[in-house]
Copies of this chain bind each other. A is one copy, B any other.
Amino acid sequence: MEMDNLIDGRAIAEQIHSETVQRISALKARGIQPGLAFVRVGEDPASRVYVGMKEKMCARLGIHSVTHVFPEKASQQELLQRIDQLNHEARIHGILVQSPVPSHIDSTAIYSAVLPGKDVDGFHPANVGKLLLGDRSGFIPCTPAGVHELLIRTQVQIEGAEVVVLGRGNIVGKPMTALLLQKDRHANATVTLCHSRSRRISAHCLRADIIVAAIGVARFVKSDMVKPGAVVIDVGVNRIEDASAKGGSRLVGDVDFENVRQVAGKITPNPGGVGPMTIAMLMANTVRAAELAAS
């Protein structure tokens, strides 16, 4: 099979960024600058990296951003108070609490405290409910929204497709399923959600036209689980040991990329696939929050 089957997430994210910049210009012409507040608790290295990347992207696109850092031992009440302040701050249109939060914090309470209209991560129950109900007025979590845009912008036929979503996390698997099963343009798929307790995962994958892998197991999807020509989207971020790598470990996805690439009709690299899209959708959600607040 020819090796032109890569879905270039970076290039598509850039397309979206350029659209977002235009929307920011239109807002600025009305005297509005979109603002995004980050809340980070503790010094988890990955969280620092993620927030740093998002801050940089805000700066590049012209979104005002502020980051509120709390010590690992911060109390839930302190966080809730800060979120309440941010809910009331007119210059802040979006609030993102970087996960994971320390285990003594009830993450559900934190996500539910963000005003739904500022919940650009789409984790508030009211936004999750709107997504499942097919009510498009809410915010969609950035990673499944990014996967959706990848599929749309690479002309993947979603309507009528057999889709298998691997993994039932609240951040990817469940909202991805909810998004693709809707009676809607670019949806209307027949979705099966597989997870750790599923039997016959291979059989499900083998009949799929589209596989979205978000199961959190390194190289879980093998080439003999993929129907020739199927579209394979790799959301996974798994750290594996590798003596030859700097620091003794490196990141791999949920897909055995080199082998699956030989079979798939289209496939995302990882990195360079879904990751850039997640940030692009966060920026787009923030601008949409500002647009809605101004309308």
Which of chain B's residues have a CB closer than 8 A to the CB of A127? 125, 129
Annotate A158-172 by CB proximity to B: 1 below 8 A, 0 otherwise: 011010000010100
Bound CA span A129–B130, Å: 7
Bound CA span A46–B170, Å: 38
Which of chain B's residues have a CB closer than 8 A to the CB of A198? 160, 190
Which of chain B's residues have a CB closer than 8 A to the CB of A188? 195, 197
* A35-43, A131-139, A229-237 - interface stretch: A131-139
Q: Please name the residue on chain B nearest to A122 by beta carbon.
A: B129
Task: Determine if A77 is an interface residue (Cβ-Cβ < 8 Å).
Answer: no
A168-227 residues with Cβ-Cβ distance < 8 A to B are 168, 170, 174-175, 177-178, 181-183, 188, 190-200, 204
Question: Do A192 and B195 form a contact, CB below 8 Å, given A132-B174, A133-B125, A168-B183?
Answer: no
Task: Determine if A295 is an interface residue (Cβ-Cβ < 8 Å).
Answer: no
B178 to A132, Cβ gap below 8 A? yes
Q: How many copies does the complex hold?
A: 2
Question: Do A190 and B181 form a contact, CB below 8 Å, given A125-B138, A129-B126, A129-B132?
Answer: no
Q: Please name the residue on chain B nearest to A124 by beta carbon.
A: B129
A191 to B192, Cβ gap below 8 A? yes
A190 to B183, Cβ gap below 8 A? no
Bound CA span A125–B119, Å: 14
Query: A125 touches which one: B129, B181, B190 (CB < 8 A)?
Result: B129
Task: Determine if A108 is an interface residue (Cβ-Cβ < 8 Å).
Answer: yes
Bound CA span A133–B131, Å: 12
Q: How far is the CB of A118 from chain B (nearest CB, A)?
A: 16
Residue among A175, A190, A204 with the highest chain B CB neighbour number at 10 A: A190
Q: How far is the CB of A204 from chain B (nearest CB, A)?
A: 7
Task: Determine if A128 is an interface residue (Cβ-Cβ < 8 Å).
Answer: yes
Q: How far is the CB of A83 from chain B (nearest CB, A)?
A: 17
Q: How far is the CB of A2 from chain B (nearest CB, A)?
A: 28
Query: A168 touches which one: B108, B130, B181, B196 (CB < 8 A)?
Result: B181
